[in-house]
Structures are given as C-alpha cells and as structure tokens.
Structure 1
C-alpha cells in the first residue's frame, strides 16, 4: 500500500511549495472563471474578437490573399450529441466562411496557465512582470498565427486542416509555452527559493 505521507516527504520542499501554489491558483482561477467570468464573457468576448479581427487584418495586409472579414456571429453546432449555441468570431474570405474562432480557441486558458506558472515560481516582482507581459503578448501573437495558418490550410490544403487543427498547431503552441517557461526558469534556484546571482 502506498503511504501518501512518506511519498510527500520524498518530494523536496520547494517542489511541494510550487505544486501547492499552482494547485491553489488553479482552483481559484476555475472558481472565478466558471462562477463569474464565463457567462459574462468579460474576458472571452474581447479576446475572441481581437484574435478574429487581427487574423483577418494581417491576411488582408500582408498576404497575397485579400477579402477577409471577421464578424461576430452566433453559431449552433452539435458536439457529442448535444446542441451548443455560442457567439464566435467568424472569418469570411470573399463572403465564404473559412474559420470560426470560439471562446475556447482564443488562447485565454493557455495565457492563464502560463501566467500561473510564472506567479508560482520564485523570482523578483519585476522579472515576473516582464515575463508575464511579454509572454502573454507572444502567446497571443502565436495564437493569431495559428488561426492564419488554419485559414491558409482551409483555402489551399483542406485535406490537412483537421490534422493541423487537432494536433500540429496545438503541439506548436504548447511547445512555445514550454519554451517560454524554460527561459523564465533558467535562472531560478528552487533550493533557495531565490534568483541566482550571475
């Protein structure tokens, strides 16, 4: 039989502190999000709109394609036998729908996960603030790039769209997030819960 108390004692104290902070932060975020923010769309609405508009604008300005437009629409779909109605950012190319961006695709959960890791790791306030601001901006840019890539695939290589949407771009975004975490953690010494002096 596994002795939980001995197992916990085998984990170094700094790791236990980090995991405890991360778990607490996760629970608090989920309570806030599901209890107050999800229905109000106070975070999701502007972020989903921004991702759609930025994707269409970048394609119109910097690609050989033009005629993209992002419109807020109510979309009804069936997921696992259940009818779901949600407001999305629908991207049209010459009045043909090519991509819809739902709230779950706006990158909010990933940005919050990234910020939670930074907050839980020991470091100076200004270093945390720098990595939070720059990381959130970079993750937003990468998510917009993901949407542009999906639109490009939908237009030219539709056969690969589902694979890229379900696997390739998710792996890419999570790998990028992990890289940002690694950059942040490279100068942290968990044994002393302080930043190493160079």
Structure 2
C-alpha cells in the first residue's frame, strides 16, 4: 500500500518539480528563439560544427590507416578511398544533443560547482561519441554500404542516447543527490526504496 507521502508529495518536493519545469521551459524558449529562429537560419554555427566533426572523424580514420579525406563545399563530406561515404549535416553535428544534455543538468537541482565541470565533460564525451559514430559510419559504408541506413538510424542513435541517459542517471543518483540531505523528488525517493 503506498504511503501518504508517495501519493501526496510534500510542498518542498512540489517546489523542486516546479523549479525543474520552469528552468526547462525557459531553456526551451531560449533554444527556440536563440537557435531555431536565429542561429539555424544563419547556418554558420551548424556549418562550423559539421566541419569539425567531419575533420575529426577523418583524422581518426587516417590514424587507423584508412585513406580518408574531406570534400564538399563546407568540407563536411567524408571520403573513403576517394569515394563519398558520409555527409555530416546539421541534424548530425551534435548541437541538439549538447543542448539536451546540458539543459537537463542545468534544470535539475544540484551543486553549481559540479555542474561547471560535469556539463563540459558530458558534452566532450558526446562529441567524442559523435566523431566515433561518423568514422564508424564511413567504415561501414566502405565495407557494407547496404547496412549504413540501419546503423545510422538505429544502432548509433541507441548508443548515443543510451550514453546520454546514463550520464543523466549518474547526475541524478550520484552527483545531484549527494549535494543535499533532502530528497530531490518523491519519484526518486520512492524508486530508491523499491
């Protein structure tokens, strides 16, 4: 039988949930007006990120002994042995993933000192995963181009979002929870006791 505190959360817990929703909503509005209405239309930020992901992937492939190069007007096309294999476009440059990851950590309660190092560290890990993903897709295209669509849309999406979810859970259970003696939410408290 559920306890009264699990059915009727305390005012403090409601305040934390309201704070999370308020900060998350403000961050979404900032994303919508800052990126969707201005930076995405301008395109320069996306172009730079696409080029850097493609260039880092080519560097990784060359280190692995592959004949990889950059091409295309924005130098965001990865060539393998002179053949086009992967184009890094705006939806795949990782910017949305950085914003999702960082926005959740910013909105969730926790120490600002920990957020200052955890957010950049998580974004760096996401960037590394994205570089590995593009390099792996290029190799995949080179050796088995018929499986690229599946791996691009499912395999790598599952891996990257799984890692981001793992980072969020690490924040919620280890880093944010250890900064306060009070429970962060009734859901976390109930989950910990079940």
Q: TM-score range by the shorter chain?
A: 0.7 to 0.9
Asked if residue 130 in structure 1 is aligned to residue 114 in structure 2, the reply is: no
* Aligned counterparts of 2:60 and 2:167: Cα–Cα separation in 1: 24
* Aligned counterparts of 1:131 and 1:72: Cα–Cα separation in 2: 35
Alignment match, 1:121: 108
Q: Note the C-alpha offset of 1:125.
A: 1.8
Alignment match, 1:196: 180
After TM superposition, the structure 1 stretch with the greater mean CA deviation from structure 2, 103-112 or 154-163, is 154-163
* Aligned counterparts of 1:32 and 1:144: Cα–Cα separation in 2: 25
User: 1:28-43 to 2 correspondence within 5 Å?
Assistant: 28-43=30-45
Alignment match, 2:157: 170
- TM normalised by structure 1 equals 0.79
- TM normalised by structure 2 equals 0.80
Asked if residue 145 in structure 1 is aligned to residue 132 in structure 2, the reply is: yes
Asked if residue 105 in structure 1 is aligned to residue 107 in structure 2, the reply is: no
Task: Give runs of ≥4 in structure 1 deviating > 6 Å.
Answer: none
Unpaired runs of at least 5, structure 2: 1-9, 182-194
* Aligned counterparts of 2:27 and 2:117: Cα–Cα separation in 1: 20
* Aligned counterparts of 1:180 and 1:36: Cα–Cα separation in 2: 29
* Maintained 8 Å contact 1:88/1:100: no
* Maintained 8 Å contact 2:68/2:78: yes
Q: Note the C-alpha offset of 1:88.
A: 6.6
Unpaired runs of at least 5, structure 1: 1-8, 74-86
Q: Note the C-alpha offset of 1:12.
A: 3.2
Tell me the SS of whatever aligns to 1:123.
coil
